[in-house]
Amino acid sequence: MPELGALLRLCHVAEESPVDVLLGRVAYDRISADGPPQHLAEQKVRIDKMSQRRWRRLDLEETRAALETALKYESPPPSLKDLSVRLNRSSSTLRYQFPKLCSLIVEKFRRYTRKKSRVFYRKIKRALRSALRSATPAPTLEDLIRTFKCHRSVFLSNFPDLCDALRKQNEEDRKNGLMEVERLLLYAAITEVPPCSFRAFCQRTGRSDQSLRECFPILCARISARYSSYLSESLKMKRESRAQLVRDVAYALDAEGVYPSVRNVQSRISTFNVRSNGVALSMLREVRRKLQVSAIKAA
């Protein structure tokens, strides 16, 4: 019996299963004694190409010219890491071959980053001072952090006094805003005509109903109660006006010698449906009953 390793290698080269090899069902003409099959040879060539060194020989003059050009003319100046990626060389190789040039490149990039940081910090400082001088409600610290897209530690570590002053200003603005909301709530709860609903008040002031109910529960309840009373009174007046309109139309039809039926009354009214209005139907029945009584008395 052959060894297992040799058997598996034979099956791999012959592209046959171990069962076929052991049972003798193998096409031996496919196995070449001169070398491996074509697909294995092609695979070996691909592996050899991939394993070839990707680095080409360093051209000192060309590399020096590229470094000097980047040092003198590029703006903003690139870092040594960017140049090493661009030249397909490690930064340690560049430092070893061109120590002075690399030192100048690093120093120039360091000065550029420091200047950029100073400009960025000046912008933050101006924004903080502008927020403190704002007449309208000042932007919060979180708003400025989102605007500059940086971590809050940049603000707190570099401008602690301005951040504290901005927090106090935001707290004062919040208190003033609550006082203004309280004034509007008091006006809406007592004197506003027609009274608005609590939802409409929240939309008008840009506040959530939950926050207002937590801060001013009594005033919010008064607004809701006043609006509910207003709706009830409006509905009552609407019903009375419709009943009065039906009554007037019915008497007018009777005066013209026309029977005040539902259809005849509806022909004179276009604002609502008499048949589906219970109050209007009740009024019409009452008018017709009175007219019948009057007719009987007249007879």
Mean pLDDT score, 247-267? 88
Cβ–Cβ under 8 Å, residues 165 and 129:
no
Per DSSP, the three-state class of 134 is coil
Q: Is the pLDDT of residue 79 over 50?
A: yes
Q: Is pLDDT of 293 > 70?
A: no
Cα 58 from chain centroid?
A: 51
Express each pLDDT in 176-195 by its tens digit.
776 777 777 767 777 777 88
Cβ–Cβ contacts within 10 Å for residue 153, how many? 9
**Least confidently predicted of 54-63, 128-137, 227-236, 250-259:** 54-63
pLDDT in tens, 59-75: 889 999 999 999 899 88
Instruction: Give the burial class of 219: count Cβ atoms within 10 A of its Cβ; 0-12 exposed, 13-18 middle, 19 or more buried.
Output: buried
Taken in order 228, 272, 289, 297, the sign of the CA dihedral is positive
Kindly state the average pLDDT of the residues 116-142.
87
The alpha carbon torsion through 126, 130, 133, 134 (nearest 10 deg) reads: -170
Angstrom distance (rounded) from CA 31 to CA 18:
15
113 CB-side CA count, 13 A: 8
CB 257 within 8 A of CB 235: no
Q: How confident is the model at residue 50 (pLDDT cuts 50, 70, 90)?
A: very low
- Identify the weakest region by mean pLDDT among 51-55, 217-221, 274-278: 51-55
Measured CA to CA, the distance from residue 223 to residue 230 in angstroms comes to 10
Give the pLDDT mean for 154-176: 86
Q: What is the arithmetic mean of pLDDT over 66-89?
A: 90
pLDDT > 70: percent of the chain: 86
- Average pLDDT of the segment spanning 139-146: 88
Q: How would residue 118 be classed by pLDDT, with cut points 50, 70 and 90?
A: very high
pTM: 0.43
Closest CA relative to residue 140, chosen from 117, 173, 107, 99: 173
Residue 194 carries which DSSP code?
S
